[in-house]
Amino acid sequence: MHRHGYKGRKFGRERDQRKALIKGLATSLVEYGAIETTLEKAKELRPYAERLITKAKAGDLHNRRQVIAGLSTLDAAYRLVDVIAPQLDSRDSGYLRIKRTKMRVGDNAQLAKISFVDEIKDSVAEPVEKAPKTTTATASEKKGAK
């Protein structure tokens, strides 16, 4: 049988299991910043995660909902949109790096670490508070002064 027109890796799983696997890997990547998995899974995860990051950078309601649907937890989706995406604003693409690490002891599978190219800081930059406005005395304060 030929492989023409068959995109993507099967991982020995059915379609819904495969989608859940990729979604779980993407969620872990967003939560922890870097994960170690097999090279094949990392190569399959990169385009999926980079599409989610591009949608998170847009940040409008429709794209935010698509990011929520593409990750397993709401916390990970909010972290991607509110913390990670603003830090990757300077890049147009190429947000993730895959680096081969070692061979797994059990089955000699090639492991790889997938992580963000830029350093991701955990905290969101707090907006600088403006000096409080001076207000005129209200009517109740004026009565109390008399």
CA 16, 11, 40, 102 torsion-angle sign: positive
pLDDT of residue 52: 97
Q: How far out from the chain centre does Cα 9 lie?
A: 22
For residue range 78-134, list pLDDT tens digits in order: 999 999 999 999 999 999 999 999 999 999 999 999 999 999 888 755 555 555 566
The domain at 15-123 falls in which architecture? Alpha-Beta Complex (3.90)
pTM above 0.85, yes or no: no
pLDDT of res. 7: 87
The strand pairing partners of 100, in sequence order, are 112
pLDDT in tens, 35-76: 999 999 999 999 999 999 999 999 999 999 999 999 999 999
Q: Give the span between the Cα atoms of 41 and 22, in whole angstroms.
A: 8
pLDDT of 142 higher than 80: no
Residue 126 pLDDT:
53
